[in-house]
Amino acid sequence: MKYKLFIISTLFLFNILTLNPMALENEDNLYIINCKRDILTLMMAYPDEIEDIEVSEDGFIYLILNNKKIIYDDKKEKNKYEKISNADIQDTLEVVYPLGDINSVVEGIDPGRARAYIFLSNIYGENQSEIEKNLSFFSTSCGNIMFNKNAKAGEALKKSLDEAKKLAEKDSKINNYIFPISGSYNYRVIQDTGRLSPHAYGIAIDLTRNDSDYWKWVDKSKGSKRIEGYPKELVRVFENNGFVWGGKWEHFDILHFEYRPEIILKSKFFGDKLDLNKKEWYEGVPINEQTEEIIKIINNKL
């Protein structure tokens, strides 16, 4: 009995000494690769806003954004609800956004539904009056829409709606999904939460409303039916211009499109696998003057 215990404890010790350090090293590696990719896509998505990054002595990473330091990962343990209600930037990029077409409500993911408010406030305005100074009417082929002009959000909306109108000219059914547009800027909180809606920042648009569009209104089967019929080309137009679609959330919000270019870029360049076999952590990103510069900054600091 004693002998058996000895073998077991020796095996246990062997495991701790040999296997775990490797596993830990791998985990550290994955964490750093993921950080670097997040920061690269953020700096590509907000080139005029994010000036630099900084790593504190205790290992916290900060973005320098409009002269302010904003924490990237607070390293707090969070459950999936806290990751939505109290997200840092890392949390907002953790779930990969699926860029492919879907035909039903997605299971278990809400990519883009977590928002880092300190980040949004810094870019789009700290409070209602600051946000409103950053709003502008954008003249699009689908009408004049009020949107935030910072970080090229309004420009991206204009491009999306101009392209959407062209789709509708080719396929008149698409008109029924765009017109009437249900809303854009609206300084309000998300229903039943104390959190500001992305509409309050002027970075979200609701296209034509249908009774099956929202997870609180209908069950998943009705939501899936609506998603199945939703024009895939229309979704792609918005995604190509940096918008995430609420139709790709388990807590679906099908009429809702939200400007989150970093989420789209991360998914586009790096897909859903944290692949360690790639030669470089940035493999997948087009290399040009801008990205080379950003990669250099990141490699220097992380």
| Contacting positions for Zn ion (CB under 5 A) | 204, 206, 256
Contacts for 155 with CB less than 8 Å, ≥ 6 apart: 138, 149
Comparison of 205 and 295: residue with beta carbon closer to Zn ion? 205
User: Smallest Cα–Cα separation from 65: which of 35, 37, 43?
Assistant: 43
Comparison of 201 and 270: residue with beta carbon closer to Zn ion? 201
Is residue 241 within 8 A of residue 151, CB to CB? The reply is: no
Q: How far apart are CA 255 and CA 178, in angstroms?
A: 9
Tell me how far, at minimum, the Cβ of 266 lies from Zn ion, in Å: 22
Tell me how far, at minimum, the Cβ of 204 lies from Zn ion, in Å: 5
Comparison of 40 and 204: residue with beta carbon closer to Zn ion? 204
Residue, CB closest to Zn ion: 256
Q: How far apart are CA 130 and CA 112, in angstroms?
A: 24
Comparison of 90 and 197: residue with beta carbon closer to Zn ion? 197
3-state per-residue secondary structure call for 42-91: HHHHCCCCEEEEEECCCCCEEEEECCEEEECCCCCCCCHHHHHHCCCHHH
Tell me how far, at minimum, the Cβ of 199 lies from Zn ion, in Å: 6
Comparison of 53 and 207: residue with beta carbon closer to Zn ion? 207
Tell me how far, at minimum, the Cβ of 31 lies from Zn ion, in Å: 33
Q: How far apart are CA 211 and CA 218, in angstroms?
A: 8
**Token digits of residue 283:** 């493999």
Tell me how far, at minimum, the Cβ of 183 lies from Zn ion, in Å: 7
